[in-house]
Amino acid sequence: MSNNNSKKILGVYTLTMINVAAILSLRNLPVMAELGWASIFFYLLSGIVFFIPSALVSAELATGWATTGGVYTWVKAAYGKKWGFVAIWMQWVENLFWYPAVLSFTGATIAYLIDPSLAENKYYILTVIFLLYWACTFVNYFGMELSGLLSSTGVMLGTLIPGAFLILLGLLWVISGHPLEIPFSKEALIPDMSSVQNVVFLVGVMLGFAGMEMSAVHAREVENPQRDYPRAIFFATIIILVLSVLGSLAIAFVVPQSEISLVAGIMQAMKALLARFGLSWMMPIFAVMISFGAISMVSTWIIGPSKGLFQTAHEGLLPPLFHKRNRFGMPSSILIGQGIVVSLFSLAFLFMPTVSSSYWILTDLTAMLYLIMYILMFMAAIRLRYTHPEVERAYRIPGGKNWGMWCVAGTGLIASIASVIIGFVPPAQLDTGDLLTFELFLGIGMVVMTAIPLVIYMLHRKEWELAVEEETNV
């Protein structure tokens, strides 16, 4: 018995690494490189008002309620099954816009193995998105073994090693006295707040820091969660902030702001840095590694939220068509339906002025939909303190009976709402084309994707629940 228990105990180091792997991604670096030194301000602000609150709130909820359904379980406990369904739907549907964005980054990276100019070719990027997404779906269709192998190796080979090397070369660039594309000054550290258009990239940082609710399920496995979980969050926050800041600055040091591509910024910087230090022969190696890291991340997320949505199907909230699993235990109908919708959303690349603007509008909508889930999660955490005070939480946000929760969850709630509003403003640094098209894409996307789960819940029938019972009894 003791041996089994010991296997479930996580130390601060292990939990820290789990959190880093869940959050850190190289694809977010070019977004903040656009802001130069001011990116430090936005990273710190997002860490304080969103990253840390989401991590601490998730930890309390994960250690107080069954974690099978994640945010679905938490929000359902506070506001009922309908809003729990909306929360898990938002966690799932935001990925439908995220997949094309991250795979466009992969396509741009692969372009440096063939012809760098392809990174700005819409039709090339669209083709890569289609091929890679369906390849990842195919991998997941045959079970978790291969998918798990991709995930475990992808973080190290495709994120941590290339990211550390990029930062090292950036530091060598500075130490060697090479001219910087962003000269340092105290004024440059503070962003121009005169126009909301200059702070829109804050939404991209928020998305880059999202996902902590996924790793919070491990809070139960910490020997002393009240002491060790906050410490792991603190260390993870420092690691993620340092790597994100230095990685973004490394790009900004060598690539002119006007030339930074949101999908190819990493490879632009790598090309310049490797050439300067006589290491151009390593370019294909890093292109392969970074591409592999992005593909492994997509493979992981394709099945994760799909399983969360599948949990609601088991409670009769989705039609019988989506109750199906294949012989490998994977939610096959959801995977196929998800792939069709992602393919349609990818067509956005054909209607925006540039690949970077297409990347941004998909990233923007992804963040706004995801933040709706966080709004529900923060509200649920506050409500559960009053409606279910008797539930034992292995980790509890400190600060009296409830005021600590109000401060932490309230900060995250306000930040999430503000970011959704800011998301409707096109960034000053990008040509997003016609303003009306930009606003309609975001507005219609928000309304439709929020309305769908409410309509499904309203139309769900007793027969759907009976179908689940029949399938369970077979």
- The whole-model pTM stands at 0.81
CA distances in angstroms from 172 to 90, 255, 274, 314, 317, listed in the order given: 43, 15, 11, 55, 56
Cβ proximity of 338 and 59 under 8 Å: no
Would you state the pLDDT for residue 32?
80
Amino acid at 111: A
Note the pLDDT of residue 7. 47
Cα separation, 176 vs 273, whole angstroms: 12
Residue 352 within a domain? yes
Ranges of the chain whose pLDDT falls below 50: 1-7, 473-474
- Tell me if 419 sits within 8 A of 371, measured CB to CB: yes
> What's the CA gap between 250 and 259, in Å, rounded?
14
The size of the chain, in residues, is: 474
Give the pLDDT confidence score for residue 412 in this predicted structure.
95
Residues facing residue 10 across a β-bridge: 222
Q: What CATH number did the domain enclosing 156 receive?
A: 1.20.1740.10
Closest CA to 307 of 71, 469, 132: 71
State how many domains the chain has: 1
pLDDT for 474 equals 47
pLDDT number for residue 4:
43
Give residue 53's domain range: 2-467
Q: Is residue 86 part of a domain?
A: yes
Residue 375 inside a domain? The answer is yes
What is the full DSSP assignment across 419-451? Answer: HHHHTTSPPTTS----HHHHHHHHHHHHHHHHH
Residue 472 lies in a domain: no
Would you say residue 46 lies in a domain? yes
Residue 80 belongs to some domain of the structure: yes
Angle of CA points 5, 10, 13, to nearest 5°: 160
3-state secondary structure at position 10: strand
Rounded Cα distance, 385 and 390, in Å: 9
Residue 474 within a domain: no
Q: How many CB atoms lie within 10 A of CB 9?
A: 12
CA distance linking residue 177 with residue 253, whole number of Å: 12
- The whole-angstrom distance between residue 103's C-alpha and the CA centroid of its chain comes to 13
Query: Does residue 473 sit within a domain?
Result: no
